[in-house]
């Protein structure tokens, strides 16, 4: 769904929408606005409820993306876009490349490219978005970051942590200090991917969310993400 702001009707719709506050909440049940109740996005207006879609029907993962969707539903709905069009757009929308990007499913395992998770704070969002047991690929250039909060964010989701690059030992030591011992070292990115494929079971997810920059192994995070996707395609044959 693309809105043409050169069109006078669209401009008038946008003017009306911005004149009305868009209330939305992922955690609270509002009297009126856009809410996420359970797994369903709902428009509440004038005592009526209009379901839009469910979290299982969209391609984006993570509570931060759910909040973005709530806001987008509210803005477009109050601009006068029909609910059917909003539903279609939300369900078709895909993640930005390298940011918790679904790549493919191979042998029952989902592969996600979060190469832009170049620091622990960004990588926390990546692992927090996972809803399945996860094989996590981490490590890279040493920016002298602390990995404690990242490890704590695993919350029982991570089955194995595969580490590589200059930070591999520091990450492994931090994981051990926090009681996580399923750490595997890999000398190369390709080896890490092969280990992930070997360890993953149907119903698992493999997530590249390194918490580190790519320098020393790749030119930038975009190249790292593209190599991840190329290897996944090779896995699929």
Neighbours of 215 (CB within 10 A): 17
pLDDT at 21: 74
Please classify residue 123 by burial: count the beta carbons closer than 10 Å to its beta carbon, then call 0-12 exposed, 13-18 middle and 19+ buried: buried
pLDDT at 4: 47
pLDDT at 67: 93
Pairing type for strands 134-138 and 109-113 reads unpaired
5-to-13, 14, 18, 71, 205 alpha-carbon distances in Å: 10, 8, 14, 19, 40
Give yes or no for residue 1 having a pLDDT over 50.
no
Mean pLDDT computed over every residue of the chain:
92
Q: Determine contact, residues 71/65, Cβ cutoff 8 Å.
A: no
Distance CA 114, CA 124 (A): 11
Which carries the bigger pLDDT value, residue 7 or residue 177?
177
SS (H, E, C) 212-235: CECCCCCCCHHHHHHHHHHHHHHH
Query: What residue has token string 């029952």?
Result: 108
Percent of the chain whose pLDDT exceeds 90: 85
Q: Terminal CA-to-CA distance of the chain, rounded, Å?
A: 33
Helices (H) and strands (E) in the chain, counts: 8, 10
pLDDT at 231: 98
pLDDT at 5: 41
pLDDT at 22: 80
The model's pLDDT over 96-144, given as tens digits with 9 standing for 90+, comes to 899 999 999 999 999 999 999 999 999 999 999 999 999 999 999 999 9
Q: How confident is the model at residue 153 (pLDDT cuts 50, 70, 90)?
A: very high
H/E stretch holding 124 reads helix 120-129
Q: Which DSSP state fits 118? A: -
**Averaged pLDDT, 151-156:** 96
Give yes or no for residue 202 having a pLDDT over 80.
yes
**Averaged pLDDT, 3-18:** 51
Give yes or no for residue 61 having a pLDDT over 80.
yes
Distance CA 126, CA 105 (A): 18
Give yes or no for residue 182 having a pLDDT over 50.
yes
Please classify residue 118 by burial: count the beta carbons closer than 10 Å to its beta carbon, then call 0-12 exposed, 13-18 middle and 19+ buried: buried
Which carries the bigger pLDDT value, residue 34 or residue 63?
34
Q: Which of 6-15, 43-52, 53-62 has the highest mean pLDDT?
A: 43-52
- Beta-strand (E) ranges in 93-169? 101-106, 109-113, 134-138, 158-163
**Averaged pLDDT, 9-37:** 76
pTM for the structure as a whole: 0.78
Q: Which DSSP state fits 33? A: E
């Amino acid at each position: 769904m693309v809105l043409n702001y050169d069109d006078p009707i669209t401009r008038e719709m946008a003017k009306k929408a911005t004149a009305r506050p868009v209330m939305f909440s992922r955690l609270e049940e509002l009297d009126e606005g856009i809410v996420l109740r359970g797994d369903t996005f709902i428009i509440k207006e004038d005592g009526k409820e209009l379901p839009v879609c469910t979290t299982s029907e969209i391609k984006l993962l993570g509570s931060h993306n759910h909040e973005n969707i709530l806001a987008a539903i509210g803005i477009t709905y109050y601009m006068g876009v029909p609910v059917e069009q909003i539903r279609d757009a939300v369900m078709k929308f895909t993640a930005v490349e390298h940011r918790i990007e679904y790549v493919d499913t191979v042998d029952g395992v989902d592969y996600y490219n979060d190469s832009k998770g170049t620091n622990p704070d960004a990588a926390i969002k990546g692992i927090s978005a996972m809803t399945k047991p996860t094989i996590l690929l981490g490590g890279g250039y040493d920016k002298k970051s602390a990995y404690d909060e990242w490890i704590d964010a695993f919350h029982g989701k991570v089955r194995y942590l595969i580490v590589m690059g200059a930070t591999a030992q520091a990450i492994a030591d931090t994981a051990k200090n926090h009681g996580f011992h399923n750490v595997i070292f890999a000398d190369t990115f390709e080896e890490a991917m092969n280990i992930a494929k070997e360890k993953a079971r149907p119903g698992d997810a493999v997530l590249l969310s390194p918490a580190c920059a790519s320098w020393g192994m790749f030119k930038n995070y975009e190249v790292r993400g593209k190599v991840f996707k190329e290897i996944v395609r090779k896995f699929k044959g």
